[in-house]
A and B are shown apart, each in its own frame.
Chain A
Amino acid sequence: GAGVSQSPSNKVTEKGKDVELRCDPISGHTALYWYRQSLGQGLEFLIYFQGNSAPDKSGLPSDRFSAERTGGSVSTLTIQRTQQEDSAVYLCASSRVQEVSGNTIYFGEGSWLTVV
């Protein structure tokens, strides 16, 4: 596809269960970001991958959150033992260039996670 693809688009899970969210970045994009957006809030940075460099995990809120990026392309965000406060939209973005530039960062439509 032409854009950043995320799946699932919606996920309802029970408290305590693990969830995996997937992001397919735009082909050729070396930078990949995960953000979280709670209802009525701005975007909260979670993690950043750039090429083969060590990821910037400084935004992950707890050790229940982890992310991988295999082969420099697809990324998976995993939330273990989900809590109700994890309910949010999880947005993935990718960029072709390393330097942050607004018109080169493309966002997916997000994965809506509801923890009941």
Chain B
Amino acid sequence: DAGITQSPRHKVTETGTPVTLRCHQTENHRYMYWYRQDPGHGLRLIHYSYGVKDTDKGEVSDGYSVSRSKTEDFLLTLESATSSQTSVYFCAISEVQGVRSGNTIYFGEGSWLTVV
């Protein structure tokens, strides 16, 4: 298993509260990602990082922010949680291995978030 730890693994929170999910990696990989998984949508990219303090938006970034102050940590913050953000959140990592290597992405075990 790739050295990826997500915390918390399960959380229930109230609408309007801020929530932060943490992803910690021990692989020293350059790229880190946050995806959300919802039935009928597969996995959708929220934000990603291509280095310390270098982040960019994915396809479903509204309502989310991220920070990466160290190579090993990538934080996802829901600024004011809504019921539509109830989902399973996956952190993933990838290294740049060369143009023709494919740069496989490896996933963490997921964080189940329920917004009530």
Partners in one complex: no
